[in-house]
Amino acid sequence: MSRPSPRVDKGVVFHAERRRFLLDILKYMTEYGHEQLVACSEPSVGLKGFIVVHDTTLGPGAGGVRIWPYQSEDEAILDVLRLSRAMTYKSAVAGLSLGGGKAVLIADPAKDKTEAMMRAYGRYVETLGGRYITTTDVGSTTQDLEYIALETKHVAGLPTSAGGSGDTSELTGLGLYRGMQACAKAVWGSDSLSDRMVAMQGFGKVAQHTAEHLLKEGATLVATDIQEGALDNARQLGVKVVEPDEIYDVACDIFSPCALGGVLNSDTIPRLKCRIVAGGANNQLQAGEDGVELQRMAILYAPDYVINAGGIINVSCEVGATYSLERARAMTEGIYETVERVLRMSSMNDITTAQAAERLAEERLDSARKIRSR
């Protein structure tokens, strides 16, 4: 006679598994200095996502809401944790009075996004009482911000017709272009990009604005994207189009990642045939050692959160002040000098450009913490 199977309390097993999962998240948050993780759920409107406030030393955490069909909650949480930390460093290096924050919603923006979903998200933003200011990111638009603004005042990047600073992609594209020029000067002795070949991975709004500057100067472009509409826009500008996986093998002067993160890794870096990596995507390096490998290959890497800061600079000019496009453009032009500072620190200290940018950010944060402690 066989023994009966032991009774399994599924609730206890679930809570035990969840406890282990939460401990891992909290360990990650402690290691990288995150302050707060908020889970957002409203099944009736399809809202499922997370908001993270990374660091409020310099001001309220600011960052966009990314809408993306993540394969799992773990993937979404890791992405929002990494993105929020990058926002802290981005604002710190840019000299802004903002901290780092980010939100991700697990949804397909083309099929799932609705006014009700965005308003429900806005109500979660409001519960944070100003610790987090939301704006646009991948998958979200200024129209979405108008829906969010119906539920919270802690939103920036609204359309200019609504008194906001408008689409952040235009100045992000300008800053990316200026950063490329600074890198070109370091590599070739001249910041001219005329006749340079630039391979753009992703051809969304930021890449398109960057491309306009590059084409006007006389650069040659090749691009790829997973969206056919983006490829049509590239073709209309006279840009050569290749398949997504082919972009890594294009012989070019500048490789420009302008899609999602983690694209520079042990598999893709050996395929690069460029002298500079400078793109608008966040968290381009999959791991810290990838920056070391780029340096070993004599490829100059422009740290992503330094070169793509035009958007948050634009937003900062709206927060707590009457928005001025002239001021936002002038501050964005300063990305050129900021990149030069990063390159000098990298050279003087024999560290990677990624490490140099992080050091600049931490120095400003440490200085602010000392002032606050007094």
Lowest mean per-residue pLDDT among 13-17, 49-53, 183-187: 13-17
pLDDT, one tens digit per residue, over 179-194 is 999 999 999 999 999 9
Residue ranges of domains in the chain, CATH in brackets: 33-86+98-162 (3.40.50.10860), 169-364 (3.40.50.720)
Paired tokens of 178: 């200026």
Mean pLDDT of 45-63: 97
SS3 at position 180: helix
- Asked if 105 and 77 count as a contact pair (C-beta separation under 8 A), the reply is no
Higher pLDDT, 10 or 342: 342
Asked whether residue 260 carries a pLDDT value surpassing 90, the answer given is no
Separation CA 171–CA 177 (nearest Å): 10
Helices (H), 189-247: 205-217, 228-236
Q: CB neighbours (10 Å) of residue 324?
A: 13
Asked whether residue 321 carries a pLDDT value surpassing 80, the answer given is no
Sheet architecture: strand order including 240-241 = 240-241, 220-224, 197-201, 254-257, 276-277, 300-301
Cα dihedral: 320, 321, 326, 332 (round 10)? -10
> Which pLDDT value is given to residue 163?
82
- Asked if 193 and 217 count as a contact pair (C-beta separation under 8 A), the reply is yes
**Residue 285, φ and ψ in degrees, nearest 5:** -80, 125
> What is the β-pairing status of strands 99-106 and 61-68?
parallel
pLDDT-derived band of residue 15, with 50, 70 and 90 as boundaries?
very low
What does each C-alpha distance from 147 to 30, 53, 80, 113, 314 come to in angstroms? 34, 22, 22, 11, 20
pLDDT, one tens digit per residue, over 142-158 is 999 999 999 999 999 99
DSSP 196: -
DSSP 58: S
- Asked if 167 and 157 count as a contact pair (C-beta separation under 8 A), the reply is yes
pLDDT, one tens digit per residue, over 77-130 is 999 999 999 999 999 999 999 999 999 999 999 999 999 999 999 999 999 999
| Nearest alpha-carbon partner for 272 in 290, 252, 258 | 252
Angle at 325 between CA 322 and CA 327, to 5 degrees: 80
SS3 at position 185: helix
pLDDT-derived band of residue 23, with 50, 70 and 90 as boundaries?
low
DSSP letters spanning 162-191: GTS---THHHHHHHHHHHHHHHHHHHHS--
- Asked if 353 and 342 count as a contact pair (C-beta separation under 8 A), the reply is yes
Separation CA 65–CA 168 (nearest Å): 13
pLDDT-derived band of residue 9, with 50, 70 and 90 as boundaries?
very low
Any residues with CB less than 8 A from the CB of 301 and at least 6 apart, and which? Answer: 264, 276, 277, 278, 285, 291, 294, 295, 352, 353, 354
Q: Which of 10, 48, 90, 102 is catalytic?
A: 102
Mean pLDDT of the chain: 92
- Asked if 169 and 311 count as a contact pair (C-beta separation under 8 A), the reply is yes
Q: Say which amino acid occupies 70.
A: Y
Separation CA 266–CA 163 (nearest Å): 45
pLDDT-derived band of residue 18, with 50, 70 and 90 as boundaries?
very low
Tracing tokens 């290749």 back to the chain, one arrives at 242
> Which pLDDT value is given to residue 315?
93
Mean pLDDT of 55-59: 96
Q: Is 205 a catalytic residue?
A: no
